[in-house]
Amino acid sequence: MASSLITLTIIIFQFLSLALVQASLCRTSCGDIPINYPFGIDDGCGSPYYSHLLVCSDIGKLQLRTPSGKYQVDSISYSDPHIIIRDPFMWNCQDGDNFRPTRTFSLDTSTHFTLSTQNDYLFFNCSPDKVIVEPKPIFCERFPEKCDSSCDSSSYLCRHLPDCASALKKSSCCSYYPKATESLRLMLKYCASYTSIYWSDIGNIPPYDQVPVYGIRVDFDIPVTTRCLQCQDMRKGGGTCGFDTSSQSFLCMCGQRNVTTYCKDHEISSHGRAGVIAGTLAGVSAAGGIGIGAGIWFWKKVRAKAPVTCGVQSTENRLF
């Protein structure tokens, strides 16, 4: 009887532990990077448009998932919506004239991410037989129809590489903005390497308000909905915007419950939150209920049939 009671307690504890772990609120940071709407690093948090695109590693490093791999996120701006990522395969100042094997960075065009027009791409040691490497102002005047296809050898950034203006001793450099990922792949097919530089706003008075920095700027949209604004409104409860992971429908997370409007709306029924964040609630709650119910049934069965053995486990009342 005592061993049966212990087993029942363990079964119930396991299910309740699972529920409590998964019932934690959406994390609001990864390392020192804030995670706000529309992003989320937990299931059902943020906007479904960005579900599973950002990952927080075990050591607190935020990463962006793309078709070409995972990339470390250096920062996120919500006022001017963009993220800055780092591609370790791109050329850097330490490489100099030694070009390492690289790969093409790409974004999934079905997401709400886009490559920013504030990025500049520098290509090194391109084949003159395959790539039009010319000083753009002069070349564009002579051949305006080929201007967009040329790689600018007179680029300001080629002549003033950020942090290491003299890093290239014997290699050529030109600047080109690919309009599609395929264009980038073709360029790398005929060039030794490349790097991305974005213009970072430092808050000074124009035209000295931006400086070139290595990295890739990726812009994003913030889906603004009335329901999310009401959910976040502190006067209406200050909830967290999320979604049901099975139906993708909106949910406002309010600590111990989820609602479809806002936290202080007492006229609607809420989704109990004993189980889990957002949409996975039902599955865990149901599993917990089944597990506890099975435990009670098992307890009654054992109690009815177990022989009295004064605490000694026999072949008739053995649990496992």
Q: pLDDT digits over 84-138, tens only?
A: 999 999 999 999 999 999 988 988 888 899 999 899 999 999 999 999 999 998 9
What letter represents residue 7's amino acid?
A: T
Name the helix (H) or strand (E) containing 187: helix 181-190
Q: At what angle do helices 2-22 and 281-305 cross, to 10 degrees?
A: 180
pLDDT at 178: 81
Instruction: Report the 10 Å Cβ neighbour count for 146.
Output: 12
* Range scoring the smallest mean pLDDT among 23-27, 39-43, 268-272: 268-272
pLDDT at 182: 78
pLDDT at 52: 92
- Give me the mean pLDDT over the 243-258 stretch: 88
Total length of the chain: 320
Name the band, by pLDDT with cuts 50, 70 and 90, for residue 34.
Answer: very high
Task: Output 236 or 292, whichever has higher pLDDT.
Answer: 236
Output the average pLDDT for the chain: 79
Residue 159 has pLDDT above 60, yes or no: yes
CA-based angle 220:226:230, to the nearest 5?
110
Residue 43 has pLDDT above 60, yes or no: yes
- Give me the mean pLDDT over the 151-176 stretch: 94
CA-based angle 96:101:102, to the nearest 5?
95
Instruction: Choose from 164-178, 252-266, 306-320 the range with maximum mean pLDDT.
Output: 164-178
Task: Output 288 or 194, whichever has higher pLDDT.
Answer: 194
**In sequence order, what are the residues at sequence separation of 6 or more whose Cβ sits closer than 8 angstroms to the Cβ of residue 198?**
84, 116, 118, 119, 120, 212, 213, 215, 216, 217
Residue 24 has pLDDT above 60, yes or no: no
Task: Output 243 or 275, whichever has higher pLDDT.
Answer: 243
pLDDT at 268: 60
Residue 203 has pLDDT above 90, yes or no: no
Q: What is this structure's pTM?
A: 0.73
